[in-house]
Amino acid sequence: MALTQISTAGVKDDAVTSGKIPANAVGSSELADNAVDTAAIADQAVTAGKLANDIAINTTGNISAAAGTFTGDLTIPDKIVHTGDTDTAIRFGVNTVTVETAGNERLRVDSDGRLIVGSTSSVVPFQVFANASSYGGMNTTGVFSDATSYAANVGGGTTFSGKYNSGGSQVGFASLRGIKENATDGNYAGALTLNSRPNGGNMTERCRVDSAGVLRIGNTTYQGTSSNTKRIALGAKASIWGWASGQINGALTLADNYYWTGANNVAIESDHAAYLSLRSGSMRFGTTSSSQTGGNNISGGIHERVRFQQGGGISFNGDSAAANALDDYEEGTWTPTVTQGTISYGHNNYTKIGRMVYVTAYVNNWSNRTSSDAIEIQNLPFTPASDSNTGACTFYRIAHSDEGQIAARTTGGKIAFLSSSQGGSESWFHLAYNDLNNTNSQIKFSIWYAV
């Protein structure tokens, strides 16, 4: 009989009624002897349809089953605990779910939907708190791995997205990726890429740090670099690098169409190469003398053409001597005066290039035309280093101006005017104020002199 295995003490009064166990729900082999005792099922504990096959209830009231399907809610007051490992659990709190291992909370989804790993609170939607561990020689708290078969440009990444229209549609705006730099089996040289998305297009690489430590902007072509230089590659042919150590320690170089490998300068494309370098307080510009072959070592060297020297001045073609440097350029106007009386003047300009000064002027309207002293123009913009610098001049309505050669010359820091006599014995003499024999007498002159 199906129920001979349940004693009169096994089920409390009214615990199982005629409507609580459907027909054929319990067969002759369904309940072992003493499987249900007086403490196993409380009053009204089992109703029709509540016990399915393979469900066991032990003496402490625990229920176990091989599998089960719940068509309604399953109410759990506190947590789900792993059998035989009670410090591993899923715990349910007020609007919070946590995961525990080894008796400690590891993960939490809080009431605001924030996913928190390693802590109990956060102010951002996702955060991980953990002691960093070494991965690939660098301490990290997370890894994004790509399971794709090895090939160039495979690797993990993360994309940053957001809503881009009033309908709330999401797109990726930018991304970061760590990629395998080559397709060689066993070679794990990697690069970091920064990508952004133009309107109407897909993600496009904008910046890369390659396995040699070169920062590449608008340039994805691998070109090695030396360990003692730190380089930025810009576009197809331009580079900026600084020397961390080595023969030009600390120098900063802007290079066109070449890069330094640590042993050689290598041309990028078939063209001339050039550099602009800041080194030891100076700025230097150099070029190759001929066009180079792309991918080959620079032939014939890169020669310095111009140097802005540390102490000031510009030198040329590799000449670094301070004494040879062009150290000044200036231009302006000056105010001619005379040693006797006053004058009017015009076209009174000067240009100074290095040590050389070029002055021009015309003078007229002399207040003194009677002195026998030599005419001397003074108040030059710069003092001549020596006398006898000569220049050109023209006279208008001045005595002796038709006698022979005439010239302006420096003397005693002033400008005087020479003429040669046409008598029996030719000689030079200075024009005097009393040679100005007309109220309209005028002298125009220009002269170079060194300072």
Residues across the chain: 451
Q: What is the mean pLDDT of residues 331-336?
A: 97
Phi, psi of 248 (to 5 degrees): -125, 65
Q: What is the mean pLDDT of residues 398-410?
A: 68
Euclidean distance between CA atoms 328 and 352, whole angstroms: 7
Neighbour count for residue 359 (Cβ, 10 Å) = 24
Q: Per the structure block, which two tokens stand in for 131?
A: 């002691």
Euclidean distance between CA atoms 321 and 81, whole angstroms: 85
Euclidean distance between CA atoms 373 and 259, whole angstroms: 69
Say what the pLDDT of residue 3 is. 40
Euclidean distance between CA atoms 68 and 199, whole angstroms: 52
More confident residue, 314 or 63: 314
Q: What does the pLDDT look like over 192-221, one tens digit per residue?
A: 999 999 999 999 999 999 888 888 888 777
More confident residue, 278 or 66: 278
Say what the pLDDT of residue 409 is. 85
Q: What does the pLDDT look like over 143-154, one tens digit per residue?
A: 999 999 999 999
Q: What does the pLDDT look like over 167-193, one tens digit per residue?
A: 999 999 999 999 999 999 999 999 999
Euclidean distance between CA atoms 189 and 205, whole angstroms: 18
In the block, tokens 């060297």 appear at 301
Q: pLDDT band at 10, cuts 50/70/90?
A: very low
Residue 249 predicted with pLDDT over 60: no
Q: What angle do CA 435, 440, 445 make, to 5 degrees?
A: 70
More confident residue, 35 or 329: 329
Q: pLDDT band at 2, cuts 50/70/90?
A: very low
Mean pLDDT lowest among 28-32, 328-332, 353-357: 28-32
Q: What is the mean pLDDT of the chain?
A: 84
Residue 284 predicted with pLDDT over 70: yes
The ranges assigned to domains in the chain are: 1-75, 80-143, 144-211, 229-324, 330-450
CA-based nearest residue to 267, from 238, 296, 287:
296
Say what the pLDDT of residue 247 is. 53
Cβ-in-10-Å burial (0-12, 13-18, 19+) of 132 comes to: exposed
Q: What does the pLDDT look like over 296-324, one tens digit per residue?
A: 999 999 999 999 998 888 999 989 888 88
Say what the pLDDT of residue 226 is. 66
Q: What is the mean pLDDT of residues 109-116?
A: 95
Q: What does the pLDDT look like over 408-433, one tens digit per residue?
A: 888 889 999 888 765 545 677 888 99
Q: pLDDT band at 402, cuts 50/70/90?
A: low
Q: What does the pLDDT look like over 85-96, one tens digit per residue?
A: 889 999 999 999
Q: pLDDT band at 446, cuts 50/70/90?
A: very high
Say what the pLDDT of residue 54 is. 58
Say what the pLDDT of residue 155 is. 96
Q: What is the mean pLDDT of residues 116-139?
A: 93
Say what the pLDDT of residue 396 is. 81
